[in-house]
């Protein structure tokens, strides 16, 4: 009958703990081997009994003073208990015994970083890179990348990952990480060259193809990015992020049918996400298929019930179909969570104008102005509404305020002129029109759109003719 190895190990550990307890209490002169002390340290460490772990390490060092292994264990425990300077002292001793133990450099780095000695940590790791090769060098490069990341030297993070992949092109961790850092640092050209070289040697690396596609996408070379993603999904047909990115690329190329196909593939491969439904909804929206767009916006809303944007997008589909009342209901829902949202209020105003509810529309346009006083959108919307509804009380004041708030945009001089004409103040209106034309004559088209009947006004016609003659319009 075979012995249970687990039971045997447990028995050994119990005996070892008994010996350690005897030794600790001076009841025995039992001999404990160096490796057994290491086992004891690891056991206590796993139990999160750092006091006992440190005691075991110190007792082991007392018996085996030339054990670099136990010294390194002790240093690791000192770091865990935030005794950083003490850890460095122990590590210096260990280095005298074994200067080529990679753990020395890793732990020293941790100690220097804890003491906010970044430069020493970087110098140490750079020196270590000259001493180690293969897997150990890669481990050090990852460590160095993390240091650069912590101290926001992001370009150097990319450099470290690049060096790893030049040494080990199929390192998955580096392939995953460099995709993010390529996008973050904008070093797309370098990434393209790097991954093309990898693909030349490893043509079936789906990660390399994906990263190549992402780099092309970063340069807005969407067709090339899609080609790379296609190779990625040919190798791994369940690589959902490749389909995501293809969907995004197709959207940017305004190929909405193709984008929908890719994004629906994402839904097949992964859990439902509101952003995917939103993107599909956007595609249908752009194609004028508002019912389908609405279906996906509602799916997104179901997954993220607190996100007012989806209520807004649903509202827009109804408004685009001319269903203003229904659209307004959804806009009210959206505005409950963000009463002054300029986009929501602007769209609400547009819908209310379509229903002839001008006074209510003006209230919402006023909210747009409160939220974004420097933006012309709210000012032009409220002034258009006032002129259309003949609600001219304070209209000139609004036009003057708009001119001031937007840094003197000439369009609002035209509005002031239009308001004066609407109020029957022809002389003032002509004066304002002359000033407006002197600043931006090409905006006369906007002015005429406001009040087409002014083309029958002799003085207006004369002003237009004069500027046409001078080829200013």
pLDDT at 276 over 50: yes
- Among 72, 99, 126, identify where a domain stops: 99
The mean pLDDT value for 165-169 works out to 97
pLDDT at 4 over 60: no
Quote the mean pLDDT of the chain: 94
Residues of the chain with pLDDT > 70, as a percent, come to 98
Rounded CA-CA distance 71/203 in Å is 46
Residue 130's closest CA among 99, 159, 158?
A: 99
- Among 99, 130, 152, identify where a domain stops: 99
pLDDT-based confidence at 470, cuts 50/70/90?
A: confident
Domain membership of residue 402 (yes or no) is: yes
pLDDT-based confidence at 16, cuts 50/70/90?
A: confident
Centroid of chain to Cα 152:
16
CA angle 374, 376, 379 (to 5 degrees): 100
Domain membership of residue 213 (yes or no) is: no
Contact of 179 with 147, CB cutoff 8 Å = no
Structure tokens at 46: 């796993």
Residue 109's closest CA among 159, 144, 148?
A: 144
Structure tokens at 231: 């190779």
Q: State residue 1's pLDDT score.
A: 45
Rounded CA-CA distance 473/466 in Å is 10
Domain membership of residue 386 (yes or no) is: no
Residue 314's closest CA among 298, 336, 292?
A: 298
Q: Which residue has the tokens 């897997």?
A: 135
The mean pLDDT value for 131-155 works out to 95
Q: What share of the chain is helix, strand, coil (3-state, %, to 5)?
A: 80, 0, 20
The mean pLDDT value for 238-255 works out to 98
Q: State residue 5's pLDDT score.
A: 53
3-class secondary-structure state, position 81:
coil
Domain membership of residue 55 (yes or no) is: yes
Structure tokens at 98: 């074994």
Domain membership of residue 447 (yes or no) is: yes
The count of domains in the chain is: 2
Which structural domain, as residue segments, surrounds residue 408?
A: 393-473
Domain membership of residue 300 (yes or no) is: no
Domain membership of residue 46 (yes or no) is: yes
pLDDT at 6 over 60: no
Burial class of residue 156 (count of CB atoms within 10 Å of its CB; 0-12, 13-18, 19+): middle
The mean pLDDT value for 225-253 works out to 98
CA angle 147, 153, 157 (to 5 degrees): 65
- Check which CATH number belongs to the domain holding 79 and give it: 1.25.40.10
Q: State residue 51's pLDDT score.
A: 92
- Among 81, 99, 117, identify where a domain stops: 99
- Sequence-separated (6 or more) residues with CB below 8 Å from residue 470: none
Q: State residue 8's pLDDT score.
A: 61
pLDDT-based confidence at 201, cuts 50/70/90?
A: very high
Q: Give buried/exposed letters for 139-153 (b at 16+ CB in 10 A, else e).
A: bbbbbbbebbeeeee
Give the model confidence (pLDDT) of 320-352 as tens digits: 999 999 999 999 999 998 899 999 999 999 999
Rounded CA-CA distance 248/45 in Å is 48
Domain membership of residue 44 (yes or no) is: yes
Structure tokens at 67: 């054990």
The mean pLDDT value for 437-460 works out to 93
CA angle 375, 376, 380 (to 5 degrees): 145
Rounded CA-CA distance 387/362 in Å is 11
Residue 75's closest CA among 110, 43, 125, 113?
A: 110
Q: State residue 30's pLDDT score.
A: 67
The mean pLDDT value for 362-370 works out to 97
């Amino acid at each position: 009958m075979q012995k249970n190895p687990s039971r045997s190990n447990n028995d050994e550990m119990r005996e070892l703990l008994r010996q350690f307890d005897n030794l600790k209490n001076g009841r025995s002169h039992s001999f404990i081997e160096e490796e057994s002390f290491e086992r004891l340290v690891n056991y206590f460490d796993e139990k999160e009994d750092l006091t006992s772990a440190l005691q075991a390490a110190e007792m082991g060092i007392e018996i085996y003073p030339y054990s670099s292994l136990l010294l390194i264990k002790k240093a690791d425990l000192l770091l865990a208990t935030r005794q950083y300077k003490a850890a460095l002292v122990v590590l210096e001793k260990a280095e005298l015994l074994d200067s080529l133990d990679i753990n020395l450099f890793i732990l020293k780095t941790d100690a220097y970083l804890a003491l906010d000695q970044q430069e020493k940590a970087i110098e140490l790791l750079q020196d270590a890179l000259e001493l180690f090769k293969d897997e150990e060098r890669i481990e050090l490069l990852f460590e160095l990348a993390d240091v650069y990341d912590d101290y926001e030297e992001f370009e150097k993070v990319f450099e470290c990952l690049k060096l790893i992949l030049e040494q080990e092109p199929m390192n998955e961790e580096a392939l995953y990480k460099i995709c993010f850092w390529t996008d973050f640092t904008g070093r797309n050209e370098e990434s393209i060259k790097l991954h093309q070289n990898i693909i030349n040697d490893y043509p079936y690396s789906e990660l390399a193809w994906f990263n190549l596609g992402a780099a092309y996408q970063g340069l807005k070379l969407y067709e090339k990015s899609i080609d790379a993603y296609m190779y990625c999904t040919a190798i791994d047909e369940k690589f959902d992020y490749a389909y995501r990115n293809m969907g995004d690329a197709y959207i940017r190329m305004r190929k909405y049918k193709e984008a929908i196909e890719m994004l629906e593939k994402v839904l097949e491969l992964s859990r439902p996400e509101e952003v995917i439904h939103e993107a599909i909804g956007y595609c249908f929206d752009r194609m004028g298929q508002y019912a389908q767009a609405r279906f996906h916006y509602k799916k997104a809303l179901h997954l993220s019930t607190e996100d007012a944007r989806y209520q807004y997008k649903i509202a827009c589909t109804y408004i685009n179909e001319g269903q203003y009342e229904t659209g307004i209901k959804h806009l009210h829902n959206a505005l409950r969570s963000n009463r002054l949202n300029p986009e929501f209020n602007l769209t609400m105003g547009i819908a209310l104008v379509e229903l002839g509810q001008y006074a209510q529309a003006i209230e919402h346009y006023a909210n747009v102005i409160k939220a974004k006083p420097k933006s012309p959108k709210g000012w032009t919307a409220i002034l258009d509404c006032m002129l259309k509804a003949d609600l001219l009380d304070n209209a000139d004041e609004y036009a003057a305020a708009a001119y001031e708030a937007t840094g003197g945009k000439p369009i609002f001089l035209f509005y002031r002129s239009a308001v004066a004409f609407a109020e029957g103040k022809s002389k003032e209106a002509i004066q304002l029109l002359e000033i407006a034309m002197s600043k931006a004559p090409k905006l006369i088209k906007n002015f005429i759109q406001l009040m087409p009947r002014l083309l029958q006004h002799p003085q207006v016609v004369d002003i237009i003719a004069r500027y046409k003659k001078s080829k200013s319009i």
